[in-house]
Amino acid sequence: MKILVSDKLAGEGLEILKAVPEFQVDCKYGMKPEELKAVIRDYDALIIRSETKVTADILEAAERLKVIGRAGVGLDNVDLAAATKKGVVAMNTPAGNTTSTAEHTMSLILALSRNIPQACASMKGGKWERSKFSGVELYGKTLGVIGLGRIGATVASFAKSFGMKILAFDPFLSKDVAAKMGIEIVEFEKLIKESDYITVHIPKNEETTNLISDKEFAMMKKTVRVLNCARGGIISEQSLVKALEEKRIAGCALDVFDEEPLSPSSPLLKFDNCITTPHLGASTSEAQINVAIEIAETVKNALLGRGIMNAANFPSLSAEAYKVLEPYIDLGERMGKFGGQLVNGRIHAVKVTYSGVVTEYKVAPVTMAFVKGLLLPILGETINAINAIDVARERGINVQEVQSNKKEEFVNLINAEITTDQETFSVWGTLSANQQPRIVKVNKVYVEAIPQGYILFINNNDKPGIVGNLGTILAQNNINIAGITLGREAEGRLAVSLVNVDSDVPANVIAKIKTTPNILFAKLIKI
């Protein structure tokens, strides 16, 4: 497998990758987009930092690409929608630069409070201006943290050691958890109005772009100091310039910008109370090594089938969890293929219910595999496990995942219910004692079938002679039976036959089977 490293990566990370015999690692730094597009088709994995932009155009050319790994926090330089559509897992390193970014944030808070850059510049100009650069203390002040993830929480813990009160806005964190950290969870507007310092630690997306703009600046204290070490554009630069010009805030410190590098003509540079640094949050030797090691291990494990961690478009799975779930992922896809070839009508909804020990794990990858298998007969190679749920949603298919505590006949059981405009079709699956996939129920009929290869699916009246007639027709056409399973609703009622055969069954043979007495339905499916 070939790995392309397009941005500089610490040697410690490269050594991890080069130590794997199956890997060929190529380092090609500073490529222009057209150069990357020309070579990306030959690679299974791409490792980047912030310089490389992985656009939809580049992803379209990536014929073999399975993994994109970014050595850093965030993936805003990767077109995630295009990666998902292509079936490429996009991963980052959320923990590797936590300390360095949090420390840089605190450095900027202190620099803002004590006018350190301005005082330094003044002294280098031969001046001694003590009174001009009088500052403020952190003790007793209120720090508003927007986003209480790894970095935000670390900043909060650092700030507490200075005697600061911490307010936080994070809609995904419970108040009880925050309270144990000594942090008060508040509404966004309250944080904006009451904070003496405001720092953002959230990803940039449609919802967070220009999160702080004119409206928010108008609500702030005139003594507030605003910081951004997360992503450019979360704080509107236009609104920030306006707030500085009108002296609505006491100052700001920015490590990130709408466009990087920041233009020398940017109006932000004309304000003495605006401290700027060139995206230094992760620029420590320790952070560079940490993120390099983390992304190398993450990419290595993903390529070798040892688990997927820190993915933006796929559920994270440890190596242990992946090992447990791998046969269920295979089962899910086989069940999807099975149902997709048998269901009639336009699919409106899919409900996948899990019971047993498997519910102790994140089963989302199994659901994704099922949907992939379900849509494969319709969409072919354009569908994959990564984009399956998105594609289903685009087609108006509601996908529901349920974990049940109900006791079943099997240790682990997956029930997939497919609803169309014509019917509701159900298929149940499990693993055998030796971890082999089995279909154990179709609609109301119990069976025990191997979902593999060519399978003749037959509905028939429960009458004598069905198996004999079927065997005769197949023998006459030199088609060997590999296995057969039978089931019925009740004696004399609807029965189901699943016949595994060693080769394809021509249409004329299927037609003959359909004309056999008491055969109600016959179809060849391929798994």
Average pLDDT for 11-35: 97
Nearest by Cα to 467 from 493, 450, 485: 485
**How high is the pLDDT of residue 382?**
66
Q: What secondary structure letter does DSSP report for 397?
A: -
Q: Is the pLDDT of residue 406 over 90?
A: no
If one counts the domains in the chain, the total is: 4
379 shares its domain with 249: no
Token pair 């049940």 is found at: 404
Longest Cα–Cα distance of the chain, Å, equals 107
Q: Is 305 exposed, middle or buried (0-12, 13-18, 19+ CB in 10 A)?
A: exposed
How many CA within 13 A on the CB side of residue 2? Answer: 14
> Are 289 and 72 spatial neighbours (Cβ–Cβ below 8 Å)?
no
Q: Which tens digit of pLDDT belongs to each residue from 235-252?
A: 999 999 999 999 999 999
User: What is the distance of C-alpha 220 from the center of its chain?
Assistant: 35
128 shares its domain with 36: no
Task: Give the domain-ending residue among 443, 471, 486.
Answer: 443
33 shares its domain with 87: yes
Q: How confident is the model at residue 381 (pLDDT cuts 50, 70, 90)?
A: low
415 shares its domain with 455: no
CA dist 264 and 414 (Å) reads: 60
405 shares its domain with 488: no
CA dist 301 and 299 (Å) reads: 6
Q: Is residue 56 part of a domain?
A: yes
The set of catalytic residues is 231, 260, 279
366 shares its domain with 238: no
CA dist 523 and 498 (Å) reads: 10
Q: Is residue 312 part of a domain?
A: no
> Are 318 and 309 spatial neighbours (Cβ–Cβ below 8 Å)?
yes
Token pair 């490269």 is found at: 14
What count of other Cβ atoms lies within 10 Å of the Cβ of residue 344? 11
Q: Is the pLDDT of residue 233 over 70?
A: yes
Q: What secondary structure letter does DSSP report for 314?
A: S
Tokens describing residue 471: 């065997």
Q: Is residue 311 part of a domain?
A: no
191 shares its domain with 267: yes
169 shares its domain with 195: yes
Q: Is residue 202 part of a domain?
A: yes
User: What is the distance of C-alpha 431 from the center of its chain?
Assistant: 27
CA dist 446 and 486 (Å) reads: 8
Residue 464's domain comprises 451-527
Q: Which tens digit of pLDDT belongs to each residue from 318-356?
A: 888 888 999 999 999 999 999 999 999 889 999 999 999
Q: Is residue 310 part of a domain?
A: no
**How high is the pLDDT of residue 478?**
96
> Are 433 and 499 spatial neighbours (Cβ–Cβ below 8 Å)?
no
Q: How confident is the model at residue 115 (pLDDT cuts 50, 70, 90)?
A: very high
Q: Is the pLDDT of residue 302 over 90?
A: yes
Terminal Cα distance for the chain, rounded = 27
**How high is the pLDDT of residue 384?**
79
Q: Is residue 147 part of a domain?
A: yes
> Are 375 and 393 spatial neighbours (Cβ–Cβ below 8 Å)?
no
Q: Is residue 223 part of a domain?
A: yes
Average pLDDT for 422-427: 96
Q: What is the CATH number of the domain that holds 455?
A: 3.30.70.260
Q: What is the CATH number of the domain that holds 407?
A: 3.30.1330.90
Q: Is residue 373 part of a domain?
A: yes
Q: Is 390 exposed, middle or buried (0-12, 13-18, 19+ CB in 10 A)?
A: middle
Task: Give the domain-ending residue among 410, 443, 476.
Answer: 443
Altogether, the residues listed in the chain come to a count of 527
Q: Is the pLDDT of residue 153 over 70?
A: yes
88 shares its domain with 30: yes
133 shares its domain with 238: yes
204 shares its domain with 113: yes
> Are 232 and 259 spatial neighbours (Cβ–Cβ below 8 Å)?
yes
Q: Is the pLDDT of residue 464 over 80?
A: yes
Task: Give the domain-ending residue among 401, 417, 443.
Answer: 443
46 shares its domain with 84: yes
Average pLDDT for 421-449: 95
The model's pTM is 0.68
Q: What is the CATH number of the domain that holds 108?
A: 3.40.50.720
Element (H, E) at 78: none
Q: How confident is the model at residue 173 (pLDDT cuts 50, 70, 90)?
A: confident
**How high is the pLDDT of residue 179?**
93
Q: Kindly report the average pLDDT of the chain as a whole number.
A: 94
**How high is the pLDDT of residue 351?**
98
Nearest by Cα to 45 from 96, 92, 88, 93: 88
Residues of the chain with pLDDT > 70: what percent? Answer: 99
